[in-house]
């Protein structure tokens, strides 16, 4: 259930860490869109772990194969199946975990839900599942760019207590974002974030963070009243990502502290169309895009797996001291950047096609 | 499109401010559930505007009628159609609005989207649409209470800059919440909130706020991996409400500033089952409920309609000074309390039925 | 569950015989379509029982009210709720039925499924449920006619053993169909059918029949590959009607007896487009409309309720002699004509909107 | 669009003839079901063309690989991705077809719909697409057998004018069906069918036929009122198969010629439960299974590709004589047998899970 997302641009993802492959089926992509594996691979490469240190491996891992839906470099309008082989063999590390629910992981809840558990514990709650989303999202992005000129850029706006504040959503680019491994385009903040991550790694701990995202060039009129409001679907999309605890659009929680006279976005005439002077709405009014950039922020909790020992108990309630082995990523928000972009693309592609039908 | 929500417990709402009625069709409610109009009316009454001042009118307005799906006080398992008549006639106030898009309202986006506009401007973006949700949510709540013993309580935790902090989610009740018109169960904060609202009203302005919600007694195992995570559907549900700009579950945005060692919820044995010592997860791990209370917060922006004059322009871009007439609610979060509860109930009823199917 | 049909043009029906009302919510109808209750009423009138004998009652019964989605005679693009009051009070006739499952009715299966039973026995299996479909179908028809010039005409092509054969699908009209109460546009066959119905009524028995339908002016390209083939959705739509036991498109079961050389529809140039010389395909190739008229036939079994005594048993298995009281319609296919048209309209409206999105 | 089927047991298929692979993703299969590739392969083998003559190839072709959703031979409850490689290279035969729409094929309609055409012409209308359905159907069958003891058997009941009549749906087995290559379990009819196919092949023509199917052991209570009636979903499922022109359940079109007194299925007590003496209903009453075997029939038109020359025209309307090259199957109904079984299994698995949720 619920491995499918979207109404007209519809994505189904599959795969756990320890099966043969992960991937996605994209159904509903319009025909005649130029599409090759090279359109998809870059975002998969950005999603991969350990990119800074392991550059040589980059071209071999997580290679996408398009199994169907394409001929002579064009989409056929039929389902596009995307396949990425798993290369992990089942690590011994997990064996010990079978009797102990890791704190703030999905081990316990998957066991209760399914009465069975994948070797890796949380099964589909694993970050590995997002490979399929990123591959599908790249297809959606291609469509949005070619047909509507939409561009989507996400960046790390906070790592733990370190925040960046000077990023201009009107101009920020992926190139600027990728200049630093931490994917914050603001140099000073980026350096402080990297230091903070280094410190936390040394302490065998982990850190949360915030990813901000802007969608530019979105035409007015996208989003469906009531349950399909643009912010509702973006919220669902982002909160469906592992480790996400919060979502806000436009003024977000800060808006709740404001007065209407200060919050309202005044309409003005700009660039030959009706626009707004400020953008506290974050590009949506009444759930429907207004032609201004869509702006939202996604809060990620710190990764649950940490090197330092933790108190816990086994499934029978017997107290136990947990120690994780192996290498763990102390902060996942840099890798979350392309994932957030992908989910935004899936939402917008679907809403754009739905609005087209209204003709 | 998208006036339907849910997979097995499925709700379709209908109605604008100026048609004959608003309401909902609930499809998928199990049979043999005791259900009468009196089960639904109280939440509709709590949703109504002007409750403190207009107590005498309370029993006449927004009366729900069950059109189908019930016989001899029991559900039949067939669609339950819920009907609430509109009593407004079209106010003259709106006539002037036809040529001017109100700032931060849905007038402009609805016009772009549909090429036509309801008299009231934003059509389905109106708060009136939530009547159907609340009626349907009351049916969902009845099911959750009878079959699983789940209870849902929401309250106002912030109005503008005034926050309350001493509410205990484990024990808070609707009775406590309703003790103050502002629906904050903490007396001192409630009084300050009410003063703040009075001040803002006097200044012909409006105020945002935050609604917090707890769902107690939710069994572990609800929520579907990937796109149907409990927090993803709760997020969609809440962000589909008018004026909502943010959603967070458990630690939320504060969690993004934390370290893993401080954020992880330690497993302990309690009440004969595996539980957690803290609840930063907000009752979900990997998108699936863990048996702890679900805790989330919803940010509402200040109402866009304010009495004081605002700069704006008409659809042709000609600058204009807007002045709203009539009575306007300067702060909607107290009324949002039953709406948030209703949406939470719709999400949980759906997830509970889906998990039942897994048997 | 499953009271909703369609993806973009989406209909939810509600109501049993003995509740307050029956009706439907149409979600996804495009905005700016002229629509009034008078557009819907005629098909409801055609659906009503006893039309020939009870002409005076006609204008009072089954009056549709549009509750929402319309303003100034135009659709708003929001859900259109359609309401038809029930006027039946619960008849005493049914009381005796509570302990005895009527043969070939839905009494037994509803009781097993739901563990509860509507007074009328089969609940939503009742013909009364089709009121909502017909009302919604009239909206779909209006859209199809205005936007694409599509027209849909159904007629009775068989009653029991009596078949008509000379109807030309290219030219048959509703006026011609309605010339005879039996709704067969071929005079000689119509008279024989009416005699046959009279005979069966006198014998307190009932009769099955076949409804044929043509959809003209359907553009090529509608229908979705695989599970959304035009014939698959038409088949689902028709087989979802009470008493339907068979569906065939184009050559149908007769086609299964043919050779390819005789069955293939030769392409020719006609009217400035590619067409086919014959139409054994029934207007679809590979599930997608080809621009030729869609032709299909629907088989209805004889009504299960008959006046003559029948052997049966009660729920405990005790043999019993059943006798139905009251007036029963010995042949329902004439009334099924507008219902078949309505379901065809719902399918085509949905497919047409979906194809628009592909633009 | 519409490459997904089902609500709780949900299948998405992908793939054309000339891509890298075909397959399916099964979402919603309950956890802890024993499942291996060997459970799926037999139905894929039965689906393959040329089985009688090419026995040696059988074990190499159309091998299914399970990419996800399984661990240690048990389902995890997560999506099961099924992959079958394509081995065809693009045949030269098709090149000539690019400018000529083959009669009664999907070439023309796909071109109109998508404005682009797969090398093989009809893209997803190809029989190759059914590989994914059969693989997914085998998973559904495993579930139905293990959890409810349901068994599904289909057979060829007519080839052209040759019909078989003595098959007992209560006892027929797949072993009996597979005794003859034509998959008719009745020896005399089977031999006549095979002769008829030989004759038609010699004449470079093709033949239609009928597949009958029985589902035994189906509990009473499956099927959803209104649009989800068991026969409606079975009808959609079967009419979504390539070349199907008709579907009937129970008495079908013959029932339309009957009187109610002869058609009604008398209730009797049998095997400790309420049953019916006859089964003209085909196992469903009011759209819901009644515990009797489900019986239905599916009409397949003759394959459109024939060796003998046919008149036609190109896309510009210029008359042309078409001649197909290569080997063509003159009668596909024997291969359709496992496909029909698979689609029936998909429908029943979904309805059974939905009814479980009603608990």
Tell me: the pLDDT tens digits for B309-334?
Answer: 999 999 999 999 988 777 788 999 99
- B271 against C60, higher pLDDT: B271
Which residue reads 């090279």 in tokens? Answer: A38
Q: Distance (Å) from the C-alpha of residue A315 to the closest C-alpha of chain D? A: 19
Residue C171: how many other CB atoms lie within 10 Å: 11
Helix (H, G, I), strand (E, B) or coil at C180: coil
Instruction: Show the tokens assigned to D298.
Output: 């599916």
**Residue A51 pLDDT:** 56
| Region B4-358: CATH code | 3.60.150.10
| D8 contact residues in B (CB cutoff 8 A) | 7-8, 354, 357
Q: Could you read off the pLDDT of C227-281 as tens digits, one per residue?
A: 999 999 999 999 999 999 999 999 999 999 999 999 999 999 998 999 999 999 9
> What are the tokens at C223?
């229908």
* Residue with the two structure tokens 């409400």: B241
Chain A residues closer than 8 Å to C229 by CB: none
Indicate the range of B240-249, C196-205, C315-324, D323-332 predicted with least confidence.
D323-332
Mean pLDDT by 10 residues, chain A (359 residues): 92 93 97 97 90 44 95 94 83 63 91 81 82 98 98 98 94 97 97 97 96 98 96 98 98 98 96 94 97 98 94 92 82 97 98 88
The pLDDT value given to residue D56: 38
The stretches in chain C having pLDDT less than 50 are 53-59
Q: How far apart are CA A254 and CA B253, in angstroms?
A: 12
Total Cβ atoms within 10 A of residue A100: 18
CA neighbor of B303 nearest in space, from A263, D235, D210:
A263
In angstroms, the separation between the Cα of residue D108 and the nearest Cα of chain A is 14
Residue in chain B closest to A123 (alpha carbons) equals: B225
B288 close to B232: Cβ distance less than 8 angstroms: no
Mean pLDDT of chain D: 92
Which of A202, A230, A256, A340 should be substituted to probe chain B, the one whose Cβ sees the most B Cβ atoms within 10 Å? Answer: A256
Residues in chain B within 8 Å Cβ distance of A3: 225-227
> Are the C-beta atoms of B11 and B136 separated by less than 8 Å?
yes
Q: Is the ipTM of this complex over 0.85?
A: yes
Encoding tokens for residue D84? 């079958």
Average pLDDT of D230-241? Answer: 98
Contact list, B354 vs chain D (CB under 8 Å): 8, 357
pTM for the predicted model, two decimal places: 0.96
Q: Which residues of D touch A71 (CB under 8 A)?
A: 16, 18-19, 116, 118-119
Report the C-alpha gap between D25 and D6 in whole angstroms: 12
The whole-number pLDDT of residue A58 equals: 41
Spell out which residues of chain D touch residue B359, defining contact as CB-CB under 8 Å.
Answer: 30, 356, 359
Residue C359 to residue A354, Cβ atoms within 8 A: no
Taking the CA of residue B36 and the nearest CA in chain A, the distance in Å comes to: 26
Nearest to D356 among B7, B77, B357 (CB): B357
Alpha-helix runs per DSSP H in chain A: 37-47, 107-114, 130-148, 174-177, 187-202, 230-239, 252-255, 260-263, 333-358
The CA-CA-CA angle for residues A54, A55, A57, to 5°, reads 75
Q: Which candidate from D129, D267, D300 shows the least CB-CB separation from C256? A: D300
- Note the pLDDT of residue D195: 97
Measured CA distances, A199 to A155, A196, A207, A327, D210 (Å): 21, 5, 10, 16, 72
Of chain A, the end-to-end C-alpha distance in Å amounts to: 32
C8 CB neighbours in chain B (<8 A) are 1
d(CA C59, CA C41): 9
Taking residues D177-192, what's their average pLDDT? Answer: 97
**Residue B55: which pLDDT band, with cuts at 50, 70 and 90?**
very low
Q: Are C250 and C284 in contact (CB under 8 A)?
A: yes
Residue B185 is encoded by which pair of tokens? 């169960």
**What percent of chain D lies above the pLDDT cut of 70?**
92
D26 contacts D69 by C-beta, under 8 angstroms:
yes
Pair A116, D78: CB distance under 8 Å:
no
Locate the chain C residue with the closest alpha carbon to D355.
C113
Which residue of D12, D286, D357 is the best one to mutate when testing the B interface, meaning the one whose CB has the most B CBs within 10 A? D357
Q: What pLDDT score was predicted for residue C123?
A: 76
> How many CA atoms, within 13 angstroms, populate the side-chain half-sphere of residue A228?
26
Instruction: Search chain C and give the residue with CA nearest D282.
Output: C245
Q: How far is it, in rounded angstroms, from Cα D15 to Cα D24?
A: 9
Within 13 A of D234's CA, how many CA atoms are on the CB side?
36
Specify the 3-state DSSP secondary structure of B43: helix
- Identify which of C66, C67, C20, C46 has the alpha carbon closest to the alpha carbon of residue C134: C46
Residues in A touching C7 (Cβ below 8 Å): 7-8
The residues pairing with D312 across neighbouring beta strands, listed in sequence order, are D320
Name the DSSP class of A91: P
Nearest-10 crossing angle of helices B230-239, A230-239: 160
Looking at residue C56, its pLDDT comes to: 38
Record: contact D69-A118, CB cut-off 8 A: no
Inspect the interface and report whether the beta carbons of C353 and A356 lie closer than 8 Å: no
Whole-number Cα distances in Å, C234 to C220, C231, C274, D44: 16, 5, 24, 29
Q: Output the pLDDT for position D89.
A: 52
B95 falls in which pLDDT band (50, 70, 90)? Answer: low
Domain ranges of chain B: 4-358
B32 to chain D: closest CA residue: D358
Determine whether the interchain pair D14/A124 forms a contact, defined as Cβ–Cβ distance below 8 Å.
no
Distances (CA, A) of A254 to A249, A283, B136, B213, B255: 10, 16, 31, 19, 16
Has residue B44 got a pLDDT over 90?
A: yes
Residue D25 pairs in a beta bridge with D12, D81
**Residue A167: per-residue pLDDT:** 96
Contact B43, B134 (CB under 8 A): yes
Give pLDDT, residue A127: 87
Q: Is D83's CB within 8 Å of A67's CB? A: yes
List the single residue in B16, B31, B83 with the smallest CB-CB distance to C76: B16
User: B265 is written with which tokens?
Assistant: 């919820």
pLDDT surpasses 50 at B87: yes
Least CA distance to A108: which residue of chain B? Answer: B290
Q: Do A359 and C30 touch (CB under 8 A)?
A: yes
Chain D contact set for C280 (CB, 8 A): 104, 301
Which of A174, A19, C81 minimizes the C-alpha distance to B22? Answer: C81
Task: Report the residue of chain A nearest C352, measured CA to CA.
Answer: A357
Q: Give how far B300 is from chain C: nearest CA, Å.
A: 24
Rounded to an integer, what distance in angstroms lies between the CA atom of residue A190 and that of residue A169? 17
* A289 token code pair: 């895009």
Given a cut of 50, whether residue D326 has pLDDT beyond it is yes
| Residue B3: burial class (beta carbons within 10 Å; 0-12, 13-18, 19+) | buried
Helices in B165-229 by DSSP H: which ranges? 174-177, 187-202
Q: Between D76 and C61, where is the model more confident?
A: D76
Region label for C77, one of left (φ > 0), alpha (ψ between -120 and 50) or beta (otherwise): left
Average pLDDT over residues B15-19: 89
- pLDDT band, residue D88 (cuts 50/70/90): low
Tell me the average pLDDT across D209-236: 97
Confidence of residue B164 (pLDDT cuts 50, 70, 90): very high
Query: Residue A65's beta-bridge partner residues?
Result: A83
Report residue C157 as tokens: 């092509």
Which chain B residue lies closest to C8 (C-alpha atoms)? B1
Cβ pair B296, A340 in contact under 8 A: no
> Residue A6 burial by CB count (10 A; 0-12/13-18/19+): exposed, middle or buried?
buried
Does residue C100 contact residue C312 with C-beta atoms inside 8 Å? yes
Are B358 and D77 an interchain contact pair (Cβ–Cβ within 8 Å)? yes
Residue among A78, A354, A356 whose CB faces C225 most closely: A78
């Amino acid at each position: 259930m619920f491995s499918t997302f979207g109404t007209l641009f519809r994505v189904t993802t599959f795969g756990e860490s320890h099966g043969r492959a992960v991937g996605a089926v994209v159904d509903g992509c319009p025909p005649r869109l130029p599409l090759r594996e090279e359109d998809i691979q870059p975002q998969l490469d950005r999603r991969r772990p350990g990119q800074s240190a392991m550059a040589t491996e980059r071209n071999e891992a997580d290679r996408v194969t398009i199994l169907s839906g394409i001929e002579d470099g064009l989409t056929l309008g039929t389902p596009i199946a995307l396949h990425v082989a798993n290369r992990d063999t089942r690590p011994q590390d997990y064996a010990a975990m079978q009797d102990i629910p890791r704190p703030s992981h999905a081990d316990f809840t998957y066991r209760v839900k399914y009465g069975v558990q994948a070797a890796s514990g949380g099964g589909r709650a694993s970050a590995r599942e997002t490979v399929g989303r990123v591959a599908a999202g790249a297809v959606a992005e291609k469509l949005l760019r070619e047909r509507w000129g939409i561009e989507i850029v996400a960046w790390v706006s906070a790592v733990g207590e370190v925040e960046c504040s000077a990023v201009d959503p009107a101009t920020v680019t992926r190139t600027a974002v990728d200049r630093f491994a931490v994917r914050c385009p603001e140099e000073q903040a980026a350096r402080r974030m990297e230091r903070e991550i280094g410190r936390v790694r040394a302490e065998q701990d982990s850190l949360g963070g915030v990813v901000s995202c802007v969608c530019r060039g979105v035409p007015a009129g996208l989003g469906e009243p009531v349950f399909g409001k643009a912010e509702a679907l973006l919220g669902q999309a982002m909160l469906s990502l592992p480790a996400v605890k919060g979502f806000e659009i436009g003024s977000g929680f800060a808006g709740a502290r404001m007065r209407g006279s200060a919050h309202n976005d005044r309409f003005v005439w700009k660039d030959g169309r009706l626009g707004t002077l400020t953008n506290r709405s974050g590009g949506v009014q009444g759930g429907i895009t207004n032609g201004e950039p869509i702006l939202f922020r996604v809060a990620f909790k710190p990764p649950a797996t940490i090197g330092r020992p933790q108190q816990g108990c086994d499934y029978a309630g017997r107290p136990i001291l947990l120690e994780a082995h192996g290498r763990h990523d102390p902060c996942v928000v840099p890798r979350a950047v392309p994932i957030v972009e992908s989910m935004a693309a899936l939402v917008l592609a679907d809403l754009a096609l739905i609005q087209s039908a209204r003709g």
